[in-house]
A and B are shown apart, each in its own frame.
Chain A
């Protein structure tokens, strides 16, 4: 500070600017250094791995590297007739190498993704190739199985030549590239992903609507009641909020099962027959009920914090100016709560769209979401690139919503409890 004052006295103002900038930069660096540890930690452990997912989802080097000579020989093949002897010879050479390294199983899995029927013929080829003679590989390979003489299968191999692929993304939309290189839908009875995407959107949308309809009245009550009552009722919102997700899911499993409390109540009240208890779990109903209850606090809290700031005198003014309570509510109160509605709805929608645990436990086959499919491919089929592709598609959807959230409410306005 003192040096700056001196500089004003000794010079004509420019050094002051310089030293101010210097001090400013120093402060900037100081502030940045405080953020830096967390920022770099997150970039390395979180942001880069998400980028890694992108690379994985389009990466198709595996087959390219397994059959290098074949693809080289295939460069001049137009794909109309069966390839020439040189392609077969190159394929044989690559294949023998793969068998030596015991990797032909991986090749058959990979090629089977492209076209069904490769698994058995590659197994057969491995057995027969031991007794192959030198030269004329075309004849020998074709004699192993009639599919090896089918040009379709060779086209399928050629389609795996590029190092990058969009197949995983197409697969997530139930599409694929057919023999002519056109993008087409898979057969109707094998379309599973589109249904899941739509169901994810549907469940997320309706859960948001249900949450809104239930949260609005209670948030209003909490905001208008005197403090000593509202604090007590607030516990009803905050206790579930702080309770383990699995505990809450477990309690819904107990409530909704066929011999469960809700069904017992229905039977007791005569709504349903004892031997005709409805299935409320392991289907969509289970997902809806449990997810709505679990996500409800995330809707109540933003609504409450907005409603708390609305002065009750506004409603009184509306009424004194001749509006009925309903008109006063609709024209005065409701518009003022719109920021809270936006925040709550987007928060619940974002959370619901990526839900995994609850649908997996109470959703059964008809109540699972796209997240369950991602987890399935991560843990069971180990098709990580497919899981990555679906994850990124989901992420891009969430980012759009996040961007909207930021536009409407602002990230800084997120409130927790």
Chain B
């Protein structure tokens, strides 16, 4: 942001102070993520920079923690990753289907008690996770689903649907309903109309809701802590145990992989958001 030439000196100073503050905040936001990166290549078993690393000695860097993550005998990361992906994928599918269908109903202007129902549908997002965890645990324990994949998937569907409902309702708010009426007037049945007309148009919203649901499930630890048995361990659970008990640099290798994954998700989500905004712009 260039300042006009006539700016008085004290405003000029103030402007640079403002930019410095902004820079510091951005640094505070993003820098912690980049500490993990170099430390995950540490050749030693410490979670701090060794003298060798500070002087950029190549011997101080190694891939041993990545090897340990993949081949380590005692390391449960393989099982955890498998569980995490299975649970997150099924939870995403469930959330997307239930959430999208519900959002379609909610955006209809005929929907009765809209406010109340919306409040119930997004409540899992508002209620603190610890309370959701307790409540869901009571349900799963009664239903005999504690310490099963099914139980965790259902729990994550509960937590993931609000995101799908919100993103899809937002997409539908800019949706021109006359196109579906046109389709029905041309003889299309509702299912066909949905698959051929509505879904392609709201797809960006559906996918970004799905991404939220995926990340929610993939990153979720509080509810899983209550529900999971040894067999259902997930990546967040392993990280949680690791951070509490034996802090080993393997965790940093895992964390680096997770940061790369989240970068990919971020890029996808951003592209989708822009596409969706462009589409909505055309509709207006």
Contacts and interface: CB of A to CB of B under 8 A. Distances in A.
Interface of A: 24, 27-28, 30-39, 41-50, 52-53, 56, 214-215, 217-218, 221, 224-225, 233, 235-240, 242-255, 257, 259-261, 264, 293, 296-297, 325, 350-351, 353-357, 360-361, 371, 374-375, 378-379, 384, 387-388, 391-392, 394-395, 398, 402, 406, 411-412, 414, 416-417
A46 B124 contact: yes
A260 B32 CA distance: 12
A52 B142 CA distance: 11
A259 B54 CA distance: 14
Interface in B222-253: 222, 225-226, 236, 239-240, 243-244, 247, 251-252
Contact of A391 (B35, B131, B165): B131
Interface in B128-171: 128-139, 154-155, 157-158, 161, 163, 165-167, 169
Given A217-B21, A238-B269, A395-B131, 11 more contacts: A45-B158, A47-B120, A217-B18, A244-B258, A244-B262, A250-B252, A253-B243, A254-B47, A356-B128, A411-B118, A416-B166
A44 B119 CA distance: 16
B243 A361 contact: yes
Most buried by B among A238, A252, A392: A238
A391 B130 contact: yes
Interface stretch (B55-63, B65-73, B75-83, B106-114): B106-114
Interface string B167-193: 101000000000000000000000000
Per DSSP, are chain A's interface residues mostly helix, strand or loop, or mixed?
A: helix
Contact of B25 (A30, A217, A406): A217
Contacts of A39: 102, 117, 120-121
B67 to A, nearest CB: 20
A357 B139 contact: no
B134 A391 contact: yes
B195 interface: no
Given A53-B138, A350-B128, A247 B36 contact: yes
A214 B25 contact: yes
B33 A240 contact: yes
Contact of B130 (A27, A251, A374): A374
A395 B115 CA distance: 20
Contacts of B39: 254
B158 A371 contact: no
A411 B158 CA distance: 18
A44 B117 CA distance: 14
A254 B129 CA distance: 25
A247 B255 contact: yes
Contact of A242 (B32, B115, B120, B215): B215
A237 B230 CA distance: 35
Give the 4 A-B residue pairs with the shortest CB-CB distance, closest first: A354-B128, A34-B105, A35-B105, A31-B108
B44 interface: no
A350 B126 contact: yes
B282 interface: no
Contact of B47 (A30, A242, A257): A257
Contacts of A392: 131
Contacts of B137: 378
B118 A34 contact: no
A248 B102 contact: no
Contacts of B134: 53, 374, 378, 384, 387-388, 391
A412 B47 CA distance: 44
A48 B139 contact: yes
B30 A261 contact: no
A45 B123 CA distance: 13
Interface in B243-273: 243-244, 247, 251-252, 255, 258-259, 262-263, 265-266, 269-270, 273
A189 B164 CA distance: 48
A34 B101 contact: yes
Contacts of A238: 266, 269-270
A162 B97 CA distance: 47
13 contacts: A35-B101, A39-B102, A42-B161, A46-B123, A239-B30, A251-B32, A296-B25, A354-B129, A357-B240, A378-B226, A387-B134, A391-B130, A395-B128
